Amino acid sequence: MTIPQQVQERAAWLRKEIEHHNYRYHVLDDPVVPDSEFDRLLRELLHLETTHPELISPASPTQRVGAQPLEAFDEVLHPVPMLSLSNAFSNDELSEFDRRVRERLDWQSEIEYAAEPKLDGLAISLRYRGGLLVQAATRGDGARGEDVTLNVRTIGSIPLRLLGKGWPEILEVRGEIYMPRSGFDKLNEKARKQGEKEFANPRNAAAGSLRQLDPKITANRPLAMVCYGLGEVRGGSMATTHTRNMAILSEWGLRTSPELRPVIGVQGCQDYYESIAARRQDLGYDIDGVVFKVNGTDQQQMLGFVSRAPRWAVALKFPAEEEMTRLIAIDIQVGRTGVLTPVARLESVKVAGVTVTNATLHNEDEIRRKDIRPGDTVIIRRAGDVIPQVVRVVTERRDASAREFSMPPVCPECGSELIRDDDKTMTRCSGGLFCPAQRKEAVKHYASRRAMDIEGLGDKLVDQLISKSLIRSPADLYRLDIETLANLDRMATKSASNLLQALEQSKNTTLDRFLYALGIREVGDSTARSLAQFFGDLQAVEAADMETLQSVSDVGPIVARQIHTFFRQEHNLEVIAELASAGVHWPAVEAPQSQSQPLAGLTFVLTGTLQRPRTQAKEELQTLGAKVSGSVSKKTHYVVAGTDAGSKLEKAARLGVKVLEEEQLDELLRTGIAP
């Protein structure tokens, strides 16, 4: 039968593409496509060769396991081939595997399987002679691997000498070397600090660490191993089930999976799969599926092998956590606190069972580090419920016209100036009072107790007012009427009337409360008080330059820049003018900071129960120029202790900080003289 030309060409292209990715994955440890893409290519080629057996040749990727070993390591011949596993991607395919097993065994009842997680690492063979580790080799192409004995000897979870007794003279153990997630995170954190390239995932990290030419480098990598099978066994015998053999290996000091279980039939396999999938993110290491093996070793021998995999085992894979797609554009989202976050808009792709169209890009530095550009082909990862992320770019598929990304010059929501945080990781919009993305937070902060203290204006009511477009800034609060408020959810005439009264009362405030209510980043109530006392009126604060602002107590260059930028935004000044027109006012500040204050430069901490409200004592101290802190340190000058004072009083005693009783505080506030 003649094979159509287009089928021959497709098969040839698939072989070439698969061999390329095999080389990138197994030899260079630098894959450019996710496993799911590789699996699709291999399954398509298998389908073509099954449909047209004439296509099959010894050189086809379907007839081999991996790729050529690295020339830097000595070659090792595997006495028993290290084959890979057939994959199943659905319960139907698992049921089909079970059907084939029972037919070949002529077995009428349910099969007992050994079930365990499929670790995502690097396959390894350990060879013990007389109980001593004499050789370790990678899988390589299944027949020949790489001698990595010196590197493997550095891994603490691998015994150099077997424990106990009764082991065969020659014992070959197969398993997976992997890197726990905690170790992977630390390794990448160290790479970031040293300006080195980070690993894409724990599997790449494990493979790259094991195949270092210098064993000292491997020794410093957090590698571990779990055993999952046997190779050559001579001069002794093992048990008749896989689960018992793994228990014996554990008795000899080799690590096996604590999740290994015998299960009965397809239903037992499916139940185990669901159980592991539910706990997948809590295991502490990456897995990409579950392996089911016929438990009886006699039955395994009866079933035998195909060219590249045993007939008695299958890997039921999880939905791919990594997929490849195209990045259409990079959009900018402005969060409720003004942080600008780049978001990848993607061609729709299914990742871990969920359709993904967007992925976080974190910040501008992350985009530049990964060199992500609109139009790129990218790898998307979604683990569990984690927000999808762009892992890396497939630069081989980048169009020559792709241009580097740059952040917008102003806020895309309101046009306000942008400010980079001091650590340079975040960019923020400075239009806090006006920016639509920040409206809810701006209004909620404005109404809070330490700001304008508008009783009855809770979060849910603010949400309603914003969602119904009844207010756009704090100034719009003073334009609300009783009819509008009474028609809102959970509101009535009485509650609406009470809120309007609270709004009217809030118009009579103080300069420091008003400054705090504006929500200027880094300006807390204490800094607001310092600003009010130093400048005396709002116009002076608005007009102050950076140098003058830094003359204020508690105001450094970072805070000064936030204040200076805020008052240079026309939008913010317009809202402030509207608030003044609505009747918001405050009495003149009688004692600006430029005048001498008796407690200036002193830091107080209040603890225990005082006769006066704690907030009142704090305000009275701040009026005299003192700073009131929430914690005791060596820089604390006085601790004011009420009844039931606890750990802060104890720490003051340890540090030698002077403690005042409330009577002494009264005297200090009356005279302004510190004892």
- Residues tagged active-site: 118
Contact 591, 599 (CB under 8 A): no
Query: DSSP states of 241-290 as a string?
Result: BHHHHHHHHHHTT--B-TT-EEEEHHHHHHHHHHHHHHHGGGSSS-EEEE
> Alpha helix locations (H) across 536-608?
538-543, 546-549, 557-566, 570-581
**Distance between CA atoms of residues 536 and 512, nearest Å:** 10
**Could you report how far apart the first and last alpha carbons of the chain are, in Å?**
106
For 162, other C-beta atoms within 10 Å of its C-beta total 20
Give, as one character, the DSSP assignment of residue 586.
Answer: -
**What are the tokens at 296?**
């009886």
| Strand runs labelled E in 424-547 | 427-429
Buried b (16+ CB within 10 A) or exposed e, 585-607: ebeebeeebeeebebeebbbbbb
Alpha-carbon dihedral of residues 92, 94, 98, 103, nearest 10 degrees?
60
**Distance between CA atoms of residues 415 and 529, nearest Å:** 30
**Distance between CA atoms of residues 520 and 531, nearest Å:** 12
**Three-class SS of 159-223:** CCECCCCCCCCEEEEEEEEECCHHHHHHHHHHHHHCCCCCCCCHHHHHHHHHCCCCHHHHHCCCC
Closest to 531 in 3D by CA, of 486, 567, 499: 567
Q: Based on C-alpha coordinates, what's the Rg of the chain?
A: 35
- Per DSSP, what are the bridge partners of residue 420? 427
Cα torsion 443, 444, 448, 453: sign: positive
For 460, other C-beta atoms within 10 Å of its C-beta total 10
**What are the tokens at 270?**
């499916």
